[in-house]
Structure 1
């Protein structure tokens, strides 16, 4: 199990893709480089780390991984290894080569160009640069590591990792209402918080919409200053992140998931399982019917999809959003044929959906990160005065999250746990001091 708060990063280099588990997002790029040296044998002086494959966004060794936007499981960064690094040599033989140009001149061949033609696989070193002597068994075992036989057995399209998901009706209504206000003309994402039951089913009690900038075809999650407090609040309420939901504009009936949505679902399951393991983490798809009302269905991606994403075998497919492109380094075989892309339906497992009409929390305080939405203490007053007690009025995930913005007033270590206990424990009561504090914060008179 990785340390609390640690993530798994993917590092793509000329030698393939490495998964670096247990990485602290607060550590520096230089510390990650030192780990690459220790684990992969690449000296730091021969490493060039970047956020993009073309290395136009180099990373400074002194900058933190979080500041560089590398704080989530599955985030990719790109390592360019200098050609004269010892890792690129077999004995005294250099990895560099020559070719004759059209004018008869002799030119050096770059590593990328040489491996594209002569490498074990595109982007990989030559076999003799990996190991001096190979047997047929060695080669077949090596080649098999880069080959995926993708199939979906008949009758096996229902997930056994998550037996069902129960969705909170108030949460869904709020989510759909906002999408209707947007005219269903852009994607929208939210994270689901709830509980996992003994039968491996999931019950959703709250949703949180992070900051995002979306288009009709894509979603883009932005840095979230509230990310830590959302997780802290969920823990205080005895909840955990159990899934995510995405909504999209109308599509063809057979177009369920884009490649971006498939890969994001896989990364979220990898994070929840802390690796390629079974997890009940669920993906809910929301879409509009002909009347403009929201409809919901739920899925998981297969363990094979999780593995392919973790190893960098899949990528987004700009030519066909309904499929994932296969990295040239890997081979995907579908129906006995090697393919350059895989239809997304091969990766999907259905999860039964149930609906709850008995919400655990109220849904009155405005959601964060919505266009035109304001959160203020005055709205806290409306929530409290409309309830039978202060504790009942505070029983709202978004309201509690808002209180946590005022950390000097509502300490995360002392005050918020006690307030949350008064909400979650039927035998607990809200201390009179907190009742006065909340009412003062909301600008309420003592007699209100």
Structure 2
């Protein structure tokens, strides 16, 4: 299929092998065939675009501004004319310019995208460092060490704050319902429970900042940093979190110089190209039994170095993040949700009695306790209000105190 493109340089042609491409893909083709960078292009089916004199005038032409719109939905077909305004200068190759270059090979859309999708190592993370609340990190690793013996995988969602400089502070870890095996971790997401978690985080002045999971002792014997399944899960959660400083933390056992096993934390970000590949659906999500776990498989060729390949070493997608620790504002003395032993109201009663010597707000300054209480409160009003008392360490209103004490005494 051929479409005609009129710009200030005259009428040129672009060859398209798929009539259902999007505007973003069309711009990529124009960059390749007509040598106009995507970032400099404004396209329109309205010829008045070429009469626009200022950037403000050009910005009014929005009919082709959505990159995901298929060109066919705009009536663009073989022989159609579209109008191109661009910034900068270029050398016009003339009407006989061929996208195949000097060798004459036809370049398909898939070929072109693959040629532009280069997988390289990202040297610097967007996150300056990740600092973990000592108590929250210990509560997580002690459970997988003492109760699960690192025999099955365990995961959690990290919440905290992000500084303007890109420093991530993790202050609590929410452990959703889940099923773990030696090789895989399935998070059984509960939207109702996560709504409570988000309400608590809002009241605490915190947000979702990362994903933490464990590797098992059997995985420690294998030759990879993260498996292909772990890369996929980490990329999915980072893409969902939509935070450029998002951190993925890995907890595992490592043998020290004396031959003993130590619990070891590592922190990463999935690279920008990894997230782009995930969002655009390049990853093969089903791996065969004979697939190498240290390689991520793509649906189409990508360029790694000078090689076109469908298999990418997982380490290309990892950007190392420095780890620190700190003492955060919350305690972790209360039983943690969704573990083998369920959390009951009797735990609330015991906790309040054990903490009787401190202020009431201090007694409830524990995310996991707040999550239990949230099940009995209004998620839109009461939960953030109670969490804000904890954040500011201000007196808890008498009504909330009476409610909490009555819940505890009813156990």
**Per-residue deviation, 1:289:** 2.1
The answer on 1:298 being equivalent to 2:267 is yes
* Paired residue total: 313
Residue 332 of structure 1: aligned partner = 302
Residue 400 of structure 1: aligned partner = 370
Residue 114 of structure 2: aligned partner = 146
Find the aligned partners of 2:309 and 2:363 in 1 and give their Cα distance.
56
Find the aligned partners of 1:244 and 1:42 in 2 and give their Cα distance.
40
Q: 1:386 aligns with which of 348, 354, 365?
A: 354
Please tell me the root mean square deviation across aligned C-alpha atoms, in Å: 3.1
CA contact 2:129–2:323 (8 Å) conserved in 1: yes
- Determine which structure has more spread, i.e. the larger CA radius of gyration: 2
**Per-residue deviation, 1:90:** 8.5
**Per-residue deviation, 1:209:** 0.8
Find the aligned partners of 1:412 and 1:352 in 2 and give their Cα distance.
36
**Per-residue deviation, 1:179:** 0.9
Residue 376 of structure 1: aligned partner = 344
Query: Is the partner of 2:308 in helix, strand or coil?
Result: strand
CA contact 1:385–1:393 (8 Å) conserved in 2: no
CA contact 2:157–2:210 (8 Å) conserved in 1: yes
Q: Which has the higher contact order (CA 8 A, sep 6+)?
A: 2
**Per-residue deviation, 1:214:** 1.6
CA contact 1:282–1:300 (8 Å) conserved in 2: yes
Q: 1:323 aligns with which of 295, 298, 310?
A: 295
**Per-residue deviation, 1:227:** 1.7
Find the aligned partners of 2:227 and 2:153 in 1 and give their Cα distance.
11
**Per-residue deviation, 1:419:** 1.7
Query: Is the partner of 1:271 in helix, strand or coil?
Result: helix
CA contact 1:188–1:219 (8 Å) conserved in 2: yes
Residue 149 of structure 2: aligned partner = 183
**Per-residue deviation, 1:246:** 0.9
Residue 311 of structure 1: aligned partner = 280
Residue 172 of structure 1: aligned partner = 137
**Per-residue deviation, 1:217:** 0.6
Q: 1:136 aligns with which of 99, 103, 112?
A: 99
**Structure 1, unaligned stretches of length 5 or more?**
1-14, 20-37, 44-86, 92-133
Query: Is the partner of 2:404 in helix, strand or coil?
Result: helix
The answer on 1:420 being equivalent to 2:400 is no
**Could you list the per-position Cα deviations for residues 356-401 of structure 1 after superposition, in whole angstroms to 9, with x for gaps in the alignment?**
2x23111111111111x12122211222222212211111101111
Find the aligned partners of 1:18 and 1:187 in 2 and give their Cα distance.
43
**Per-residue deviation, 1:197:** 0.9
Kindly indicate which of the two structures has a greater share of residues assigned to helix: 2
Give runs of aligned pairs for residues 278-297 of structure 1, distance below 5 A: 279-290=244-255, 291-297=260-266
The answer on 1:364 being equivalent to 2:329 is no
Find the aligned partners of 1:137 and 1:352 in 2 and give their Cα distance.
46
Q: 2:225 aligns with which of 256, 265, 269?
A: 256
CA contact 1:384–1:392 (8 Å) conserved in 2: no
**Could you list the per-position Cα deviations for residues 124-171 of structure 1 after superposition, in whole angstroms to 9, with x for gaps in the alignment?**
xxxxxxxxxx9527965833223322222xxx5342x00100011111
Q: 1:196 aligns with which of 162, 172, 175?
A: 162
Query: Is the partner of 2:118 in helix, strand or coil?
Result: strand
**Per-residue deviation, 1:415:** 2.4
**Could you list the per-position Cα deviations for residues 251-302 of structure 1 after superposition, in whole angstroms to 9, with x for gaps in the alignment?**
247411111211222222222337xxxx000000110123344210100111
TM-score, length basis structure 2: 0.69
Find the aligned partners of 1:368 and 1:17 in 2 and give their Cα distance.
45
